[in-house]
Structure 1
Amino acid sequence: MSSSNTVLYFQGGLGVLANMLLLFLYTFIILGHRPKPMDLISCQLTFIHMMMILTGGDTLIEDILESLKFGADFKCKTTFYINRVMRGLSICITCLLSVFQAIMISPSTSSLAKFKHKLKTYIIYVFFCLWSFNLLFSSRWFFYVAGFTNVSEINQIKVSKSCLLVPVNHIIRGLMLTVTMSRDVFLVGVMLTASTHIVFILFRHQRQCKHLHSVSHLRASPEKRATQTILLLVVFFVVMYWVDFIISFTLILLWRYNSVIVTVQKFVVNAYPTITPLVQISSDKRIINLLKNLRSK
C-alpha cells in the first residue's frame, strides 16, 4: 500500500469514527431531551458526512457490494450516486446551519427575528425539500458514470478502482458544470452573507459589552461558542470547496486520469467531513459533559 493510500485510509477511518461517535451522542441528546432545531441540523450533517466518507471511492461499501456479487457497473453507479447526493446535502445543510444561526442570534428588533419561530416549525419541511432536491439533482450521474474492469484504460477520469466518468458531449459537459456551479455559488454566497451578518452581530455585541470587566461577563456564552464554531466550519468549508472545485474543473478540462491530482482531491473532499465532528465535539459543552458521564460509568 502506497503512503498516499495510507494517509487517505487513516483520514477516512478517523472521519468515520468521529462522525459515528458524534451521531451516537446527538441521538442520545435528541432522544433524552427536548431537541433543539440546531441539534437536528447537526445530527443530520453528521450522518451525511459519515456516508460521504464511506462512499468516497475505494471504500468498505464498494468491497461489500463486490462480495455480494454485484456487478462493477451497479457498484460504481450506486456508490458514486450516494456520494454525490451526500456532497450536495453537505453544502445545503451547512448553508442551512449558518442561516439558522444568523437568524437565532439576531436581536428582537431585527427584521430576521420574525423568522425564529417559523424556522422551528418548518425545519422538517426544509429537510424534506433539501433531500428531495439532491436525490433528483444527482440522479443524472447514473448516466455519466460506469464500472470498468480494464485497469489499463488511461484516457478516462477514474473516480475509484472500478469506476470512471463516461465521455460526454462538450455542450452537455458544460451545461452540467454550469448548473452545478450555479447551485454551489448561490449556496456559498448565502453562507458568506449569513456569516457576515453573524460577525457584525458579534462585533456590535462586543462593543456594547466592552465596559464590563467581570470574569463572568468575559467568558463566552454557549450561544457565542456555538456561533464561533459555526463560523469556523463555514470558513473551512468554503476554502475546501473552492480547492475541490479548482481540482475538479482541471480534471474535467483535461479529461485525463492523473493519480496525484485524484489523490489530492480525495484528501481535500474528505477534509471537511473529517474535521467537522472533531470541532463540534471539542466545542459543545453538552457533548463534553456527556462523554465525561459515559466515561465515569
Structure 2
Amino acid sequence: MSSLNNILYFQSGLGVLANMFLLFFYTVIILCHRPKLLDLISCQLTFIHIMMVLTGGDIWLTDIFESLNFENDFKCKTTFYLSRVMRGLSICMTCLLSVFQAVTISPSTSLLAKFKHKLKSYTIYAFYYLWSFNLSFSSRWIFYVGAFTNVSDSNQMKVTKSCSIFPMNYIIRALFLTVTVSRDVFLVGVMLTTSAYMVIILFRHQRQCKHLHSISHMRASPEKRATQTILLLVVFFVVMYWVDFIISSTSFLLWKYDPVILTVQKFVMNAYPTITPLVQISSDNRIINILKQVQSVHNQIFKKA
C-alpha cells in the first residue's frame, strides 16, 4: 500500500510541475502575444488539470488545509466539491477542444465551415456556460459529503481516509448516476464523432498530398500536428475516463470502497491530467523552440566556464 501511495505522490508531483510549466507558457502567450483560441482553451484545461491533481484525494490540498487548521468537514466538502467540478470541466473542455479543432480544419465545402467566422464568439459563450453548469451541477455534493465519523460506520461510504459520503436514498443515488452518465455519454459521443471526422479529413488530405509530392518531402502542417495531438488526447481521455467511471460508479452503487481500489482510482484519475501537458509540450513547436534556445544558451555558458 505504501508503494502505491509513493507512486501516486510521484505522479501527482509530475502532473503539477508539467501543468504549471504549461500554464506559465500559455499565460505569457495570452498576455504578451496574440493568442489563438486554441491557446485559450488549452490554458483553461491546464488550470483545470492542476486543480484536479491538487484535489485528487488525501494529498496536496488536504495537507494545506491541515496546516491552516481548517475543520475536517469544511476540508472534505471543499476538496470533494472542487474535484467533482474539475472532473466535469475536464471532460467538457476536452470535448470543446475536439469540436473546435474539427471546425477549424473543416474544408470550405463542409457544413461546419459556416461556423468558422463565429467560432470566437461561440467559444467565449461556451466557456461561460461550461463553468456555470459544472459549478452548479456539482453543488449537490456539498450536502452529501463531510468528515468521516465513527457513528453508523456502515451507513457512510469513505471516499478518503477522513471524508465520506453521507447516507442517501437508493433512488437519489440512481438519479445522480443517471444524470452524470447521460452527460458523460453525450460528451464522449461528441468527442468520438468529431474525432472520426478529423481522422477522415486527415486521411483525405494525406491522400491528396501523395499525388502532389513524394512522401519523403511531406511535412506536417501546424494544423495537422495540432489535430493529431488532440486526437491522441481524446482517445487517451476516453479510455481513462471510463475506467475511472466504472470503478467509481460500481463503488457508488454498492456503497463500498476498498482502500487499494481507491488508490488505483486516484492513479487513473490523475493519469490524464499528468500525460496531457507532456504530450502538449512535446508537440508544440513554440515550446520546443524555446527549450532548444534555453539549452543552446546553457551549452554556451557551460563551454565558456
User: TM-score if structure 1 supplies the norm length?
Assistant: 0.95
Conserved? CA contact 1:212–1:218, under 8 Å: no
8 Å contact 2:148–2:158 — kept in the other structure? no
Percent identity between matched residues is: 77
In structure 2, the residue corresponding to 1:160 is in which secondary structure?
A: coil
* Residue equivalent to 2:68: 68
**How far, CA to CA, are the matches of 1:254 and 1:88 in structure 2?**
22
User: Residues 156 and 257 of structure 1 are in contact (CA less than 8 Å); yes or no, is this contact kept in structure 2?
Assistant: no
Aligned residue identity for 1:279: V
> Number of paired residues?
297
What's 2:301 paired with? none
Aligned residue for 1:107? 107
Counterparts of 1:151 and 1:208, CA distance in 2: 69
Match of 1:221 in 2: 221
Once the two structures are TM-superposed, the CA of residue 55 in structure 1 deviates from its matched residue by 0.5
Does the 8 A contact of 1:102 with 1:195 survive in 2? yes
Q: What are the ranges of 5 or more consecutive residues in structure 1 without an aligned counterpart?
A: none
Residues 247 and 259 from structure 1, CA distance in 2 versus in 1: closer, same or farther, beyond 3 angstroms? same
Assess if the C-alpha contact under 8 Å between 1:76 and 1:163 holds in 2: yes
Is 1:154–1:256's contact at 8 Å kept on the other side of the alignment? no
Contact 1:41 1:97 in 2 (8 A): yes
Looking at structure 1, the residues matched to 262 and 149 of structure 2 have their Cα atoms a distance apart, in angstroms, of 19
Q: Could you list the runs of 5+ residues in structure 2 that have no partner in the other structure?
A: 299-305
Which residue in 2 is equivalent to 1:174?
Answer: 174
Determine if the alignment matches structure 1 residue 145 to structure 2 residue 177.
Answer: no
| Residue 197 of structure 1: aligned partner | 197
* Aligned-pair CA distance for 1:153: 4.4
State the partner residue of 1:121.
121
Aligned-pair distance for 1:90? 0.2
Say whether 1:77 aligns with 2:108: no
SS of corresponding position for 1:56: coil
Q: 1:63 & 1:149 partners in 2: Cα distance? A: 19
Kept in 2, the 8 Å contact 1:23–1:46? The answer is yes
In structure 2, do the counterparts of structure 1 residues 141 and 248 end up closer, same or farther at CA, with 3 Å as the change threshold? same
State the 1:216 CA deviation: 7.4
RMSD: 1.8
For 1:175 and 1:138, how far apart are their aligned partners in 2?
A: 14
CA-CA distance at 1:213 after TM superposition: 3.5
Contact 2:38 2:97 in 1 (8 A): yes
Query: Using a 3 Å threshold, how does the CA distance of structure 1 residues 154 and 3 change in structure 2: closer, same or farther?
Result: farther
The C-alpha deviation readout for 1:50-92, integer Å capped at 9, x for no partner, is 0000011112211221222211110000011011110000000
Checking the alignment, whether the CA contact within 8 Å between 1:72 and 1:149 is kept in structure 2 is no
Distance (whole Å) between structure 2 residues aligned to residue 136 and residue 198 of structure 1: 32
Question: Partner amino acid for 2:170?
Answer: H
1:290: which partner in 2? 290
Moved more, 56-65 or 278-287: 56-65
* Matches of 2:4 and 2:155, distance apart in 1: 22
